Amino acid sequence: MIEISNFNYKEFECLWHCCCTSLIQRLTTRRGRKSDVETLGLLFIVLCVLKFAKIWDLMGEIFDKKRPTLKRLFSHADEILSIFLYQECVVNYHAKLSMRSLIKKKAQLKHFPFALYATDLIF
């Protein structure tokens, strides 16, 4: 799992428990043809595609899906996850953390004292 997605099992389970309700609700109540991919597998596909974004053919072979099908699955899951993760990780987190509280706690970033937070994202 680490080789293909940069997540170990515990991190993947934590992410799954955060967003499973949102994914399951949206994917099982939509109209039209249902996918044969379960929601847990769809989350894994999204993480793998994010790591190897330009290699759709390789991802299609790994997950036994044709490129258009894989792109459609990814874009639908991405639409659901981006709304959920923005709400959970940005809006809700911002309500708990403010510049005023960082200044009071003297917890500002050393080289960037006016930055609210910093991220390190590697795929």
The domain containing residue 52 runs over which residues? 2-105
Task: Give domain status of residue 117, yes or no.
Answer: no
Task: Give domain status of residue 89, yes or no.
Answer: yes
Alpha-carbon gap, residue 6 to 12, rounded angstroms: 9
Task: Give domain status of residue 8, yes or no.
Answer: yes
pLDDT tens digit sequence for 5-62: 667 788 888 888 888 888 887 777 666 666 677 888 888 888 888 877 677 888 888 8
- Residue 55: HSE in the Cβ half-sphere, 13 Å Cα cutoff: 10
Task: Give domain status of residue 112, yes or no.
Answer: no
Query: How many structural domains is the chain composed of?
Result: 1
Please give the pLDDT value at position 114. Answer: 80
> Which one-letter DSSP state was computed for residue 90?
I
Please give the pLDDT value at position 88. Answer: 80
Task: Give domain status of residue 123, yes or no.
Answer: no
Task: Give domain status of residue 118, yes or no.
Answer: no
DSSP conformation letters of 11-47: HHHHHHHHHHHHHHHHHHS-SSPPPSS-HHHHHHHHH
Task: Give domain status of residue 116, yes or no.
Answer: no
